[in-house]
Structure 1
Amino acid sequence: MTRLLLGVTLERICKAVLLLCLLHFVIIMILYFDVYAQHLDFFSRFNTRNTSRLHPFSNSSRPNSTAPSYGPAGAEPPSPSTKPNTNRSVTEKPLQPCQEVPSGLVGRLLIEFSSPMSMERVQRENPDVSLGGKYTPPDCLPRQKVAILIPFRHREHHLKYWLHYLHPILRRQKVAYGIYIINQYGEDTFNRAKLLNVGFLEALKDDEEYDCFIFSDVDLIPMDDRNLYRCYEQPRHFAVGMDKFGFRLPYAGYFGGVSGLSKSQFLKINGFPNEYWGWGGEDDDIFNRISLNGMKVSRPDIRIGRYRMIKHERDKHNEPNPQRFTKIQNTKMTMKRDGISSLQYRLVEVSRQPMYTNITVEIGRPPPRLVRG
Structure 2
Amino acid sequence: MHVILVTHSCVYTVSFYHLDHDYNSSMKQLDITSQAKSKRSDKSWYILSAGLIISVTVIFILDLQFFASTNFIRNTLNGKMLEVLSAADNFTNKFIDTMKHKLIIIDSDIPDSGSEQHVSDHFSNSNHGNCTWPPLNLQGRTPLNRTDIAIEKLDQKYTFMADGHYKPKNCTAYQKIAIVVPYRDRQLQLRIFLNNVIPRIHRQQLEFGIYIVEQTAGSLFNRGMLSNIGFVQAMKDMAYDCVVIHDLDILPEDDRNFYICGDNPIHMATKVEKFKYRVPYHSFAGGISTFSKKQYEDINGFPNQFFGWGGEDDELFARIKRSNYKMTRPFDAHGHCGSVQHSGQRTGNDRMKMLQISRKIWKQDGLTDLEYNLVEKRRKQLYVWVYADINMAKVREKLKKLNSPSRK
Q: What TM-score do the two structures reach when normalised by structure 2?
A: 0.64
Residue matched to 1:346? 373
CA deviation string 1:189-239 (max 9, x = no partner): 1100001111111111122x1121001011121010000001111001111
* The structure with more radius of gyration: 2
Residue matched to 2:136? 103
Residue matched to 2:283? 253
- Is 1:321 the counterpart of 2:348? The answer is yes
Residue matched to 1:192? 223
Following superposition of structure 1 onto structure 2, how do residues 259-270 of structure 1 map, counting pairs within 5 Å?
259-270=289-300
Following superposition of structure 1 onto structure 2, how do residues 171-320 of structure 1 map, counting pairs within 5 Å?
171-207=202-238, 209-314=239-344, 318-320=345-347
Q: Is the Cα contact below 8 Å between 1:133 and 1:178 reproduced in 2?
A: yes
1:334 maps to which of 361, 366, 379:
361
Of 195-204 and 322-331, the range deviating more from structure 2: 322-331
Distance apart, 1:346 and its partner CA? 0.6
Q: Is the Cα contact below 8 Å between 1:289 and 1:331 reproduced in 2?
A: no
Identity %, equivalent residues: 36
Of 326-335 and 190-199, the range deviating more from structure 2: 326-335
* CA distance in 2 between partners of 1:311 and 1:116 (Å): 13
* CA distance in 2 between partners of 1:302 and 1:143 (Å): 21
Amino acid at match of 1:302: D
Which ranges in structure 1 are unaligned for 5 or more consecutive residues? 1-92
Which ranges in structure 2 are unaligned for 5 or more consecutive residues? 1-125, 401-408
Distance apart, 1:350 and its partner CA? 0.8
Of 237-246 and 294-303, the range deviating more from structure 2: 294-303
- Choose between structure 1 and 2 for higher RCO, CA contacts under 8 A separated by at least 6 residues: 1
CA deviation string 1:37-65 (max 9, x = no partner): xxxxxxxxxxxxxxxxxxxxxxxxxxxxx
Q: What's the RMSD between the two structures over aligned residues? A: 1.8
* CA distance in 1 between partners of 2:365 and 2:148 (Å): 42
CA deviation string 1:306-356 (max 9, x = no partner): 111111121xxx311122123223433111110100000011001111111
Distance apart, 1:94 and its partner CA? 7.1
Q: Is the Cα contact below 8 Å between 1:216 and 1:259 reproduced in 2?
A: yes
Q: What TM-score do the two structures reach when normalised by structure 1?
A: 0.70
Q: Is the Cα contact below 8 Å between 2:242 and 2:290 reproduced in 1?
A: yes
* CA distance in 1 between partners of 2:383 and 2:331 (Å): 29
* CA distance in 2 between partners of 1:271 and 1:351 (Å): 24
3-state DSSP class of the match of 1:265?
helix
Q: Is the Cα contact below 8 Å between 2:256 and 2:331 reproduced in 1?
A: no
Larger helix fraction of residues? 2
Residue matched to 2:389? 362
Distance apart, 1:95 and its partner CA? 5.0
Amino acid at match of 1:299: R
* CA distance in 2 between partners of 1:129 and 1:240 (Å): 28
2:191 maps to which of 160, 163, 175:
160
* CA distance in 2 between partners of 1:95 and 1:167 (Å): 26
* CA distance in 2 between partners of 1:306 and 1:148 (Å): 18
* CA distance in 1 between partners of 2:361 and 2:332 (Å): 33
Cα–Cα, structure 1 residues 139 and 261, in superposed 2: closer, same or farther, change >3 Å? same
Distance apart, 1:281 and its partner CA? 0.4
Q: Is the Cα contact below 8 Å between 2:219 and 2:390 reproduced in 1?
A: no
3-state DSSP class of the match of 2:332?
coil
Distance apart, 1:141 and its partner CA? 1.0
Moved over 4 A (4+): none
